[in-house]
Amino acid sequence: MTWAETHGPKGFLLAASLLNVKSETLPQTARRLVLKAPDPAEVLNRIFANLQSGSFIGPLSSHLEGQLVTLQNWAKDDDPIIRMWAEKAITYAQKSVKHQKLIEEEGMF
């Protein structure tokens, strides 16, 4: 945290990009980073982007649905900053899942 604060907004983003957040709830380290960041939404975007990295097996829609579940859990967070960000992100995630399922159903991958 001290390192991120010393390095300003870019420090918070770099620290966020190093976090492993593949869990149903936002880890305490990530929560503290978000709540101290000059731009919490930007840090949450970076943390959520970590969920999209890596590899997976199966339809992309299943992967996107898993991300949607994570966002729905984050929307229950005690902190209003995190809740509001997650609620907005859910809207986009739902559209992405719907669009991807349509692509998969029509065989246009």
**What is the CA angle 15-29-88, rounded to 5?**
80
**What is the CA angle 75-96-74, rounded to 5?**
10
Rounded Cα gap, residues 103 and 42, in angstroms: 30
- 3-58 pLDDT, tens digit each: 888 998 899 999 999 988 877 788 899 999 999 999 999 999 999 888 777 777 88
Q: What's the confidence (pLDDT) of residue 109?
A: 55
pLDDT band for 102, please (50, 70, 90 cuts).
very high
Residue 37 contacts residue 43 (beta carbons within 8 Å) = yes
Residue 24 contacts residue 73 (beta carbons within 8 Å) = yes
